[in-house]
Amino acid sequence: MKREFCSTLYKTPLSPGYWREAFACLKDLRCLVLAALLVAGRVAVTSFYIPLAENLKISFGFFLNASGAFLYGPVVGLLTGFATDILGFFIHPQGAFFPGYTLTAMMGSFVYGLFLFRAKITPLRLFFCKLSVNLFVNVGLNCVWSAMLYSKGYLYYLFRNTGKNLLMLPIELLILLAVFRLVVPIATAAHLAPEGSNGLKKKEPAADPAKV
């Protein structure tokens, strides 16, 4: 049966209805099962990446994160970010545990949810979504943690991480576009996303009047 709270698109997350649906996902079994599966997937791919250059690599967890946030929103997203970071630390430990990076993981999922949950998915929306995650979460928060943990100052990490995240942005955006061209129609057909969510459809060519 189609869920009643999965029928509305919102232009922004400022509507009370948006947040009612986001919190309703905490009680929806399908959302919780999907969240658990995507957390497992994100933890599993943590150690897999494609190196491009020094300090530049293509990882795979971000598009699973974005896809999940599209389906279950920012509230469940906060929980999946927390679970992914904690499980990832115990399964793939790298150095000492630091709660700042847990907050980064949670806020990344939260921002994806703000942009993508119950929204019409378009290339422009995906661009601003990934730009916001890269600059405000990956750069803004992680530079604070790096400055706290290591010897160099905040501005050093700010300039280094900003350049890296901007260089990766076009590649990550192309991956998101490809993934969401598959995810959105499937989610809509399964009533996990509202009708009209797909703004990535290719426009049909106009009919030739001479052939009509």
Domain segments of the chain as ranges: 16-198
pLDDT bin (cut points 50, 70, 90) of residue 66 is very high
pLDDT bin (cut points 50, 70, 90) of residue 136 is very high
Tell me the pLDDT tens digit for each residue of 19-41: 999 999 999 999 999 999 999 99
The CATH topology of domain 16-198 is: Arp2/3 complex 21 kDa subunit ARPC3 (1.10.1760)
Tell me the pLDDT tens digit for each residue of 80-121: 999 999 999 998 887 778 999 999 999 999 999 999 999 999
Q: What is the helix, strand, coil percentage profile of the chain, to 5?
A: 65, 5, 25
Task: Report the pLDDT averaged over residues 135-159.
Answer: 92
pTM reported for the whole predicted model: 0.90
The rounded distance, in Å, linking the Cα atoms of 193 and 212 is 37
